[in-house]
Structure 1
Amino acid sequence: MTEFEEAVGDALDLVPVELMDQLDNVVFLVEEEPPPEDPELLGVYDGVPLTERDLSWGGTLPDRITIFRGPLVRMCEDREHLLDEIAVTVVHEIAHHFGIDDEALHELGWG
C-alpha cells in the first residue's frame, strides 16, 4: 500500500464510527488521475445517494468514492497540507453519499 493510500485510510479513520456505520454499499478507491475532462477533480462520488434510494434499489454494484492522488499532490505545498486536503475530500464525498450537494457543503464550509 502506498503512503497516499494509507493517508486516505487515516482520513477514513477520522470519520466518526456512527457516521461510517451509516454508509451503505460503498467502496473507497484511489486512482492516480481524474478523467481528462476534469483534470483538477480531487474526488468523486459515483452512486445513488441514500436520499434518492427507494424500494426498487437493491442488488446493485457498490457506490464508489474515488480519491484522485495527482491533483491533491499538485495542489498541496507540503505533507501536512496534503493530509488535510485528503481528509476534507473524503468527508466531502461521503457527504454526497448522504445526499448533501455541493451548495450545502459550501454553506457548511466543506467545499
Structure 2
Amino acid sequence: MQDWLGRTAPDEETIEQMARAALAELPPQFAPAAQEILLRVLDFPPEELLDEMGIENPFELTGLYEGIPLTEKSVMDVADRPDTIWLFRRPILDEWAERGDVTLGQLVAHVTIHELAHHFGWSDEEIARIDRWWE
C-alpha cells in the first residue's frame, strides 16, 4: 500500500503549469489566439460569480471563460480587462477524485481547452457535439 503521509494536493501554480502545457500542445492555427488570453487559477470561484451564475455549490464550476468571444469582437470594442480563462483548483481536484478514470493533467487540459473554445465563440452545445469527453 502506498504511503500518502506528507503528500499534498497540487497547488494553484501546478494546476496553471498543467494548463499552460495543454495550451502549448494546441495546433498552430489556434496557438496565436490562445497566447492572448490570461490564465488564472483560484481555489474556488468567487461568491459574487457563483451568485451571478445562480450556482449554489462552488464545486460545480471547474472553469470559466471571461471575455468577448472572437466571433463577437469588433475593432470598436473597448476592453476593460483582458480575456481570461479561470480554472478553479478545488472543484477540479474534486471532479478528478470522483471520476477516477483520467489523469489530473488530462482533466486540467480538458477544462482549459473547453474554456478556450468559448473564446473562439463556441457554445457549450457545440463543444459537446465535438468533444465526447463525458461519455
The normalised TM-score by structure 1 is 0.84
Q: Which amino acid aligns with 2:62?
A: L
- 1:49 maps to what in 2? 69
- 1:35 maps to what in 2? 46
Is residue 83 of structure 2 the alignment partner of residue 72 of structure 1? no
Residue 92 of structure 1 contacts residue 110 of structure 1 at CA under 8 Å; is this kept in 2? no
- 2:82 maps to what in 1? 62
Distance 1:23 1:88 in 2: 14
Give RMSD over aligned pairs.
Answer: 2.4
Larger Rg: 2
Distance 1:24 1:87 in 2: 15
Q: Which amino acid aligns with 1:13?
A: A
Structure 2, unmatched stretches of 5+, are 1-11
Aligned residue pairs total 111
* CA separation of 1:28 and 1:104: change in aligned 2, threshold 3 A: same
Structure 1, unmatched stretches of 5+, are none
Q: Which amino acid aligns with 1:7?
A: M
Q: Secondary structure at the match of 1:22?
A: helix
* CA separation of 1:46 and 1:59: change in aligned 2, threshold 3 A: closer
- 1:99 maps to what in 2? 121
* Identity over aligned pairs, percent: 31
